[in-house]
Amino acid sequence: MSVERQDSLIPARPAPPRPRPGWSWHHPATRARLWQLLAVLGVAALVGWLVHNTQVNMAARGIQSGWDFLGQTAGFDIGEQPIAFESTDTYWRAFLVGLLNTLRVAFAGVVLCTLLGALIGVGRFSRNLPVRALCRGYVELFRNVPLLVQLLVWYLLLVEYLPDTTEAWSWGEGIFLSKSGLILPFAQHGADGWHWSVPVIDGFAIDGGAALSPEFLAVLAGLTFYTAAFVAEVVRAGIASVPRGQIEAAQSIALSRWQTLRLVTGPQALRVMAPPLTNQYLNLTKNSSLAVAVGYPDLVSIANTSLNQTGRALECIAIVMLVYLTLSLATALLMSRLDHRDLARQEP
């Protein structure tokens, strides 16, 4: 047996373990950890000083502080009630109602703007010139008009130019649209269980079903049409990022345009679209705070009312900041999980 053969049979020695970095000041990792620690301590000290200084100034001016007001009686009514609420309920329940109203309009807005934005973004690649021009005009119009202006326009259209309740527009069985809002059939819980409630016009009112107020419709329409313009650009850019060779390869095996989009272009474009889509969803959730401009009782509106009645400005603002921070982080985490799962499925 040759020497080379014998050497190949001898197992190689494992590499010696790399020495762990010591805690010497001359080591870069040690200095980096120390500076990070000092930065955290500095931020904590600054926050503590601000909180202490605020409490001292508030006490000097006789301004009450604390979270005990959340257990006190609210004393005001809320027009939109996803859960039961009366004026005798506490402030914390009022904040819960406002949070649910915010979640309701934000979730519906995310779903609708995604569908509409995807449709318009794909329409930008249509072979039909009027369709391309219409999609481009939509993007340029709604993207460049401030959202607050759009909310006010939608609210004005809903409360001024729609017919009265007795002359409501109707479609099919039990769908009515008037100045009172949109009335839809809805499942309701009664003494005998769940039953399908179909709205009907009864005199000067519409009984049954579920009502979506003009304020909710205005906020939902504004958020949907505004954000859909940005989503459409995200979709267009994602599709355009796919190499032309991929599309030509799909055409060479006789795939239709829909099959090419669904099987070739779409999956590759999703990798590019995921991060900017997350930003748009976060923007929509935060932009829902503008609902106070049209009287929709979201979290910000409830916080303003509670602030005016209790004078607990710091606490009310802190609740709003904490809720929106939590919603933003939860949305970003959810989109990140979905993106990683999609990438894992596409890997061979």
Token look-up 């819960």 returns: 96
pLDDT of residue 190: 62
Give the residue from 235, 250, 284 showing the smallest Cα distance to 135. 235
pLDDT of residue 336: 81
Backbone region of residue 221 per phi and psi (left: phi > 0; alpha: psi in -120 to 50; beta: other values): alpha
Q: How many CB atoms lie within 10 A of CB 134?
A: 15
Per-residue DSSP letter, 347: -
CA atoms within 13 A on the CB side of 94: 28
Q: Pairing state of beta strands 181-184 and 175-178?
A: antiparallel
Query: What amino acid is encoded at 73 in this protein?
Result: T
Q: Give the Å distances, CA to CA, from 123 to 116, 272, 348.
A: 10, 19, 31
User: Which CATH architecture does the domain made up of 91-346 adopt?
Assistant: Orthogonal Bundle (1.10)
Cα(165)–Cα(180) distance, integer angstroms: 6
Largest CA distance in the chain: 106
Residues 250, 254, 257, 259: is their CA dihedral positive or negative? Answer: negative
- Which residues does 236 contact at the CB level (< 8 Å), separation at least 6? 121, 124, 125
Q: Give the chain's radius of gyration (CA, Å).
A: 29
Q: Are 212 and 185 in contact (CB under 8 A)?
A: no
Cα(121)–Cα(272) distance, integer angstroms: 14
Number of H helices, E strands in the chain: 11, 8
pLDDT of residue 20: 53
pLDDT of residue 142: 94
Degrees, nearest 5: CA angle 151-157-159: 100
DSSP string, 124-189: TT-S-HHHHHHHHHHHHHHHHS-HHHHHHHHHHHHHHSSPPGGG-EEETTTEEEETTEEEE-EEEE
Cα(326)–Cα(133) distance, integer angstroms: 40
Token look-up 């910000």 returns: 300
Query: What amino acid is encoded at 330 in this protein?
Result: A
Tokens standing for residue 66: 């604390």
Strand, helix or coil at 258? helix
* Residues of the chain scoring pLDDT < 70: 1-26, 62-63, 189-192, 339, 341-348
Tokens standing for residue 292: 């106070």
Q: Residue 186 belongs to what H/E stretch?
A: strand 186-190
